[in-house]
Amino acid sequence: MDWVLRILILHLLVCGVPVFVGSCVLAMERDSPIRLTTEGISWFFREWAAHVTILPLLLTGWWPTLPRAKRRPGDLTAGPGEAPDRTPVLLLPGYGLNRASFRFLSIYLHTRGWKWVWAINHHPWSSPIPVLADRLERAIDQLREASGAAQIDIVAHSMGGVIAAWYLTRLHGGEKVRRLITLGTPWKGTKAHVFALRREGRDLAPGSEVIQAAQELRHDTVAIWSRSDQVIIPPESGAAAHGQVIELAHLGHMEMLMSARVFRTVVDALTPTGILPNTDSPRPEDIQ
């Protein structure tokens, strides 16, 4: 059993490295010294816990799946006899992640009445974002055909939002997508692209053709972001220039895939009425 303990300790240490490095990079970007505050310590351990939990899950999500309806979707918030009308949701993971990263959000949506929730993978491996957008187009058509819905919603984490933006602007898929919701998406690019080893990572550089296309998007969009996002550098890049922008404080990049605050905001954004709390939240450039 000693080897199990060694592997566990090694896993904990490995997961802590990107969080520590990210916090240092974020401090340099802010040009402010690192201080041991209650909020900062809490952020570090929550982001670390998200890495510890999600990274092993990725081992279960590398093979593709087909869209499938949940047999008995339940809505914990609906009253007796109420039958919620839910638009099918496609979940689009970020750089280096796969469909398993959305395991917790998928469960949350199913328990809130969503019958069709389908998370996909990116392929071919290490491809430009326009190529991944072609794959997204086929996935959207699959989900629409399987569910019988004319439109679907997309919830995208990180790079997934940039892929969706390319699809909507360059492949003209607006008629098939009702709403795009992004979690920590680098709408204006991220300086962290220098750490990317795969081809799609280079497309996230500020000023790239792909990022310029994202800036042109004017589709119905809800962008959820945080100033504590250590992967989107600068963090303000997570705030889209259009649509509804919602800032959540003290939230790390990977934690967005496990946060109850994020899940509640996503459900609010997916409701048929489209009414969101705090829809008048100012964008970073509007704050003096």
**Per-residue pLDDT tens for 136-193?**
999 999 999 999 999 999 999 999 999 999 999 999 999 999 999 999 999 999 999 9
What's residue 138's pLDDT? 97
What's residue 279's pLDDT? 44
Average pLDDT, the chain: 89
Query: Do 154 and 90 touch, CB atoms closer than 8 A?
Result: yes
What's residue 278's pLDDT? 46
CA angle 247, 252, 256 (to 5 degrees): 70
- β-pairing, 117-119 vs 152-157, is unpaired
Distance of CA 277 to the CA centre of its chain: 19
pLDDT at 78 > cutoff 80: no
Q: Which CATH homologous superfamily contains domain 89-286? A: Alpha/Beta hydrolase fold, catalytic domain (3.40.50.1820)
Which among 259, 267, 287, 264 is positioned nearest to 43, based on CA atoms?
259
What's residue 73's pLDDT? 61
Higher pLDDT, 82 or 106: 106
Share of the chain above pLDDT 90, in %: 72
Spatial distance between the Cα atoms of 223 and 232, rounded to a whole number of angstroms: 13
What are the domain boundaries of the chain? 2-60, 89-286
What's residue 82's pLDDT? 52
pLDDT range class, residue 76, cuts 50, 70, 90: low
What's residue 4's pLDDT? 76
Question: What tens digit of pLDDT does each residue of 94-132 get?
Answer: 999 999 999 999 999 999 999 999 999 998 888 999 999
Q: Which residues pair with 244 in a beta bridge?
A: 222
